[in-house]
Amino acid sequence: DSGVTQTPKHLITATGQRVTLRCSPRSGDLSVYWYQQSLDQGLQFLIQYYNGEERAKGNILERFSAQQFPDLHSELNLSSLELGDSALYFCASNPFLAYTGELFFGEGSRLTVL
Amino acid sequence: ILNVEQSPQSLHVQEGDSTNFTCSFPSSNFYALHWYRWETAKSPEALFVMTLNGDEKKKGRISATLNTKEGYSYLYIKGSQPEDSATYLCAFIERLDTGNQFYFGTGTSLTVIP
């Protein structure tokens, strides 16, 4: 158990809909990362938050947005969903910005868009 | 776009065989290199965190080396066992003013045949 909690574990929805994925980082970790893993793809970095502020953006679509709340949990909002958005979405955390140590991953939220 | 390449993409070995994989990364802005083990239906878990050129890490039958000047790391598994079957990911950590960024390779999928 990494200490990172993601909900829901599985989600099935239709094209055009909007969903919210939630992540609670490890206790004390200030930095939260979101990754997308599509079929046959590696982990694609979406966005990073640190202590409530956005710090870096990767290949995140404009239809997607995220935020980190004062209690440090984070939400990834996916809207106007398309079939190609079906993927496993991982959240990971680590203590602080300059930390060279490992990322701690949640178990992922599997999104299926029909 | 920063490229982290892993080879081979997949590998099947017999139980008892030794094997190795490669991770190639840029030789500039290096901060750290991580290896993760990702079992099916689980989340990635860190194997090694490597920060210095020439680093060699070992955990049981698994070891890793790092060459930051030429931009590669090797992961070795000695005497492969079926429980070693997993995807092995490497992550290049780049040091930026905004904080560290993690770039993952697409992984090497290892299947150990009993």
User: Is the CB of residue A90 less than 8 Å away from at least one CB of chain B?
Assistant: yes
User: What is the per-residue pLDDT for B1?
Assistant: 62
Whole-number average pLDDT of chain B: 93
Interface membership of A68 toward B (CB under 8 Å)? no
Q: Which of B1-5, B24-28, B62-66 has the lowest mean pLDDT?
A: B1-5
Question: What pLDDT, on a 0 to 100 scale, did the predictor assign at position B24?
Answer: 97
**What is residue B95's predicted lDDT score, i.e. its pLDDT?**
80
Residues from chain A that touch B105, judged by Cβ atoms under 8 A, are 42
pLDDT of residue B3: 85
Structure token digits, residue A65: 């947005």
Task: Work out the percent of chain A whose per-residue pLDDT is above 90.
Answer: 79
Residue B3: exposed, middle, or buried by beta-carbon count in 10 A (0-12, 13-18, 19+)? Answer: exposed
Cβ atoms A41, B106 nearer than 8 A? yes
For residues A10-27, average pLDDT = 97
pLDDT one-digit tens code per residue, B28-82: 888 999 999 999 888 899 999 999 999 999 999 999 999 999 999 999 999 999 9
Cβ-based neighbours of B104, under 8 Å, separated by 6 or more? A35, A42, A43, A45, B4, B89, B90, B91
Spatial distance between the Cα atoms of B19 and B84, rounded to a whole number of angstroms:
11
Whether A56 and B96 lie within 8 Å, measured CB to CB = yes
CA distance B55 to B49: 10
For residue A34, which phi and psi values (nearest 5 degrees)? -115, 135
Give the span between the Cα atoms of A37 and B44, in whole angstroms. Answer: 12
Nearest residue of A to residue B94, measured between CA atoms: A100
Residue B25: the pLDDT is 95
Average the pLDDT over B86-94 and give the result: 94
Please report, as a single letter, which amino acid is at residue B83. Answer: E
- Per-residue pLDDT of A23-72, as tens digits, reads 999 999 999 999 999 877 788 989 999 999 998 888 899 999 999 999 99
The minimum CA-CA distance between B37 and chain A, rounded to whole Å, is 11
What pLDDT is stored for residue A81 in this prediction?
A: 97
Percentage of residues in chain B having pLDDT higher than 70: 98
pLDDT bin (cut points 50, 70, 90) of residue A73 is very high
Chain B CB contacts of A90 below 8 Å: 43-44
d(CA B47, CA A74): 26
Q: Give me the DSSP letters along B2-39.
A: ---EEE-SEEEEETT--EEEEEE--SSSEEEEEEEEE-
Q: Which residue of A has its CA nearest to B102?
A: A45
Among candidates A50, A100, A106 on the partner chain, residue whose Cβ is nearest the Cβ of B43: A106
